[in-house]
Amino acid sequence: MGLKHLPAPTAIIVGLLSFVCLSFTPGPALGSEDEVLFSIRIPLEVGDTVTVASPDGKIKQVGRVVALPDRTRWPSYTATKWGRPGTVAASAVNAIHLLVGLENGKGRTMSLTPANTIAPAAGPGASVVIDSPAGEGIFGAWAPAVGNPVFVVRPGGDIAPLSNGNLPSPGDTLEISVTSSSMPYLVEIENRPGGRVFAYYSSYRTEVIGRVLRPVQGVGRFEGTLFQEVGRIRANHPGVIDVSTSPDGQIGGFQIVPWEHSRSPEMLNLWNMTQWMVIAPEDGESPLGGTPPLFQGGLVPGPASSESLWDIWSTYGRRPLVMCRLNGGPWVRLPVATGRDDLALKDLTHIRIYFPTHQEPLSN
């Protein structure tokens, strides 16, 4: 199937991504580990404005603080134990979770949530609530990645990493540095037991980074997919990639989890269900949860269809796309599937995840 057979918006995105992937010269995919792409500032004062400082030097308003937390959440969701304290522990259309610290092998978090959302993992009273639509602003175009550093800025200008001993107070500001790191331009997964997980890098390097233990066959009612489009990333954290198969405003999707998380108490039932893909490291021993490229540093929800970033390359490039092959056929958009359907993806043989980028082809 050529691009002419795809819907126009899809053809544009795939065309841009393909040109980006084929046109990079050898070198790191997204720049150095320490490069700050943009920063997010969340003032802890009700009524104050949440802002983003973009690479072109402009300050953009992306929301307003409407409520402050009066506690943190402990224990938080299981996969926080694979995160790094003082960093983003989850990036999603309906919440951003910040890892404050680890206690007895369990994470303590505080969260950023849109005013109107469904985010059970945030916990009552443990969120900075922001007047911003779910799937937009810092929950969309300007979303940070898992592992991006979080700082507390005091009114006098002192700045230090978020931690158990350095929690923010009213009047302080939370600052998230969204960094650009070396990631593959796409990951391709063979959806079968023993299927290979390939990572393709712009330096013309390909690695097998994992194997499929359990393929995905169905979709389920993952609530946050209500705020994301088909074939887009709903959420990423150290133990999950949540992919939407439902149009914005409807619920449906599937998840990819590392083998460690499949053994977590709340996840044991997934072995009796079809809505989860479980992958293991290629060597069968190395940790996978909380590691790049799948579970740290790479994936974000990306801009909603109504949003734009500082140029065309960032607007479309930072919008990860998930495509598939059905019965070994050509690459196509994910089929639309809503609610719970245990066999909605029974014909899915391959998955391809295009990673976000912001660089213009041949710019380096």
Q: Is residue 19 part of a domain?
A: yes
Q: How many domains does the chain have?
A: 2
Q: Strands, E, within the chain: which ranges?
A: 35-43, 49-53, 59-67, 87-92, 96-103, 106-114, 127-130, 150-153, 159-161, 173-180, 186-190, 196-201, 205-214, 232-237, 240-244, 253-258, 276-281, 321-326, 331-333, 348-354
- Would you say residue 362 lies in a domain? no
**Its pTM surpasses 0.85:** yes
From CA 99, how far away is CA 237, in angstroms rounded?
11
Residue with tokens 């943009």: 38
Residue 360 lies inside a defined structural domain of this protein: no
User: Are 79 and 223 in a shared domain?
Assistant: no
Range of the domain at 8: 3-30+183-354
Asked, as a colleague might, if the bond just before 75 is cis with ω within 30 of 0, I would say yes
Check: CB of residue 129 under 8 Å from CB of residue 67: yes
Domain co-membership, 148 together with 255: no
Residue 181, pLDDT score:
84
The reply to whether 361 falls in a domain is no
Same domain, 45 and 8: no
Could you say which of 161, 180, 199 is where a domain stops?
180
Q: Phi, psi (5° rounding) for residue 21?
A: -65, -40
**Whether residue 16 is found in the same domain as residue 39:** no
What local confidence, expressed as pLDDT, does residue 364 receive?
A: 56
CA angle 289, 294, 297 (to 5 degrees): 95
Boundary residue ending a domain (163, 180, 197)? 180
The per-residue pLDDT string of the chain (364 residues; one tens digit each, 9 = 90 and over) reads 343 344 444 444 444 444 334 333 222 233 345 689 999 999 999 999 999 998 778 999 999 999 999 999 999 999 999 999 999 999 999 999 999 999 999 999 999 999 988 777 788 899 999 999 999 999 999 999 999 999 999 999 999 999 999 999 999 999 999 998 889 999 999 999 999 999 999 888 999 999 999 999 999 999 999 999 999 999 999 999 999 999 999 999 999 999 999 999 989 899 999 999 999 999 999 999 999 999 999 999 999 999 999 888 889 999 999 999 999 999 999 999 999 999 999 999 999 999 998 877 655 5
Are 165 and 130 in a shared domain?
yes
Q: Are residues 234 and 342 in the same domain?
A: yes
Place of tokens 């592992």: 147
pLDDT of residue 1: 39
